[in-house]
Amino acid sequence: MSETRTDQYRLTGLDCADCAMKLERRLRALPGVAAAAVNFASAKLTVTHHAAEDAILRAIRDAGYAIAVQPPPDGAHPCACAACDLQRPRPWRTHGRVITTALSGALIAAAWLLDHRAPLGLPAIVLYLLAMGIGGYWTFRRGLSALRALSFDMNALMTIAVSGALLIRQWEEAGVVAFLYSLSNLLESYTMEKTRRSIRGLMELAPTEARVLRDGEEQCVPVAMVRPGDVVVVTPAAKIPVDGTVIAGASAVNQAPITGEAMPVEKRPGDPVYAGTLNTLGALEVRATRTADDTTLAHIIHQVEEAQARRAPAQAFIERFARWYTPAALGAAGVIAIVVPLTLPLFGIAAPWADWCYRALALLVVACPCALVISTPVAIVTAIGTAARHGVLIKGGVHLEQAGRIAVIAFDKTGTLTRGRPDVTDVVALDGMATDGLLGLAAAVERRAAHPLADAILRAASRDGVAIPPAEGFRALPGQGAMAVVGGTPTYVGSPALFAELGAATSAAEPHVRALRDDGKTAMLVGTDERILGIIAAADGVRAESAGAIRGLRRAGIRQVAMLSGDHAEVATALAARLDIDAVKAELLPAAKTAAVAALRAEHGAVAMVGDGINDAPALAAADLGIAMGVAGTDTALEAADIALMADDLSRLPYTIRLSRRTLGIIKQNIVLALGLKALALALVFPGWLTIWLAVLADMGASILVTLNALRLLHERPRAGER
């Protein structure tokens, strides 16, 4: 047996969600095809098969779609192929449709003028038939292919309707319907193209060429030829071509395409940079750390395309409904065309066959579920693409829907609500000691320590310009502090328990220590084995946007905000009071955090957990929605989270909740709109008021309206007040 392989194809002319579903099912039925999936959002087809490529290509072409074959090169990231080989669809020119539609419309106008100057004659009939043939060419081609496969998509239904109109000698109807359907397809292609631009916009962020230093000279090479270790020169106002680390130069880089950050970020040697971001003023030399097909941007594009391909629960329900709905509509049309004309005369009611056949044809057209099928995915696709442009990666429609139903959000504390780095907040000198002298003494002891609190003391001394005396004999005291000999005297920095063990008198320091701890700070004593010289307090700084983000979440409809922390209860409680958090659970091990998530769900409903994506993995997995933040450049967190905030920016959280809830609202509006227009049109069938061309307008008009309604999500953006 031939080796199984997976190929990707870009399809042009894919403007009907129902038709995409039926194409998917037709391909799955081919011999040798193991799996087929059509991503309607990006017009991408993925097929797993063995020795069936010819049959696949023939089936796609028979269905009336153009193909751009995209087998990913060995070792390449799938999205790199999509980014490099994507052929831009041009909805106003694809397959010459705009020309055939315009010509068909001109012929209809000419036929109408002839028809209304004199009784319908041969010239007008010929013009109507020409308009039908030219305007309906692509429809008939796809429709006949679908009928041969017994797949009743919109093209097949339109082919039946136009053929039926010809059989009952409704020349004008046949021509007008073909023209209107062609025009509607153009309009729908145009509106769908706007939703697909979200992915293409991401693809176009990265430049195609890079300036690489080789043998001491700058060479301009295709970005695909840049390898890890190469040094890339980035000039002012140029885009960074690959992920890497700055090795020379300083500048500010606009990272909004990746992280959604509003302001440029300062970059110096040692700082990471990402492909697709914009260098502003200074020149940079960057050592590449990844190839072009493995950058953070490439991973984001891949994740967005995969997310748009995943069916949300509402979408899956609509598709199951449509699977039964279309056969039911066909059956109803058969009853109207055959049973009614045979039955009514038995009751003495005249029922001309041509009239009821016409009504059945109108029913076939208006009953097509295209607008209903597209009502959900077009909103989800637009929302996911919009979120990605603002630094929020939503991993699929199911997670987008879940975000809209969240009742409670639980935060990890360290690194999420806080910066994850302690800073010195208070220096309390005792026993006649000066504050600068106390800080310098503590810095001398901690100079060789490897601890976040030691780093905080050294940063504070450097910031205040404090002189640090020499020290020797450094010794770490695990769990208690550190010791070094300063000026010939053994000096200690550590916890009150350490000094109690040394036998030093701590009574003067105790009121200060209690007050600092009550304020959520960590108190460190500085002194000798005999006396306390002072106290230095440090705290993990609260993120500037934390308070605004929590207020924004409440405005977005979140009923309960909780904090789950492994920190001391005093510290966690003080922070919760400062940020107006409803519930606090502190001193939790990872397993206890998972249990706390379950308790919140039982009490309040669906729970979202926000953490760093790695340390909080068990709690993120246990929550109904796991949200990781600050994952730019972190593949593990990018893959693991349900929703990933690319920057360390909590203001994106209320934006995400608000976007998801608005998306759910638009989905409901779209379903009501699609079904409402169908119901209204169907009510006109039995009195005979529904014409076939009016049925076309009702069907395709509904499709265009639900798409335009979904496009309103493109304008949803974060609010300044949530920072």
User: Of 15, 18, 243, 412, which is the active-site residue?
Assistant: 412
Query: Cβ(628)–Cβ(613) under 8 Å?
Result: yes
Tokens for 714? 């493109």
Residues 17 and 288: their CA atoms lie apart, in Å, by 41
Residues 193 and 196: their CA atoms lie apart, in Å, by 5
End-to-end CA distance of the chain: 59
Q: What are phi and psi of 717, to 5 degrees?
A: -140, 160
Four-CA torsion 681, 682, 686, 689, nearest 10 degrees: 10
Radius of gyration over every alpha carbon of the chain, rounded to an integer in angstroms: 34
Query: Cβ(385)–Cβ(673) under 8 Å?
Result: no
Under 8 Å CB-to-CB from 373, ≥6 apart: which residues? Answer: 17, 18, 21, 318, 319, 322
Contacts 24+ apart (CB under 8 A), 627-635: 627/653, 627/656, 629/416, 630/415, 632/255, 632/258, 632/259, 632/274, 632/296, 633/243, 633/272, 633/274, 633/296, 635/299
For tokens 């880089």, what's the residue? Answer: 253
Residue 412 annotated among the catalytic residues of the structure: yes
Closest CA to 409 of 562, 251, 233: 562
Residues 367 and 373: their CA atoms lie apart, in Å, by 12
Residues 23 and 11: their CA atoms lie apart, in Å, by 11
SS3 67: strand
Residues 671 and 638: their CA atoms lie apart, in Å, by 32
For tokens 């500048």, what's the residue? Answer: 251
Q: How many other CB atoms are found less than 10 A from the CB of residue 497?
A: 13
Tokens for 438? 């106390």
Residues 576 and 583: their CA atoms lie apart, in Å, by 8
Sheet with 489-494: strands ordered across: 418-429, 532-542, 522-527, 489-494, 481-486, 471-477
Closest CA to 624 of 411, 396, 391, 407: 407
Query: Cβ(456)–Cβ(521) under 8 Å?
Result: no
Q: What are phi and psi of 219, to 5 degrees?
A: -125, 135
Active site residues: 412
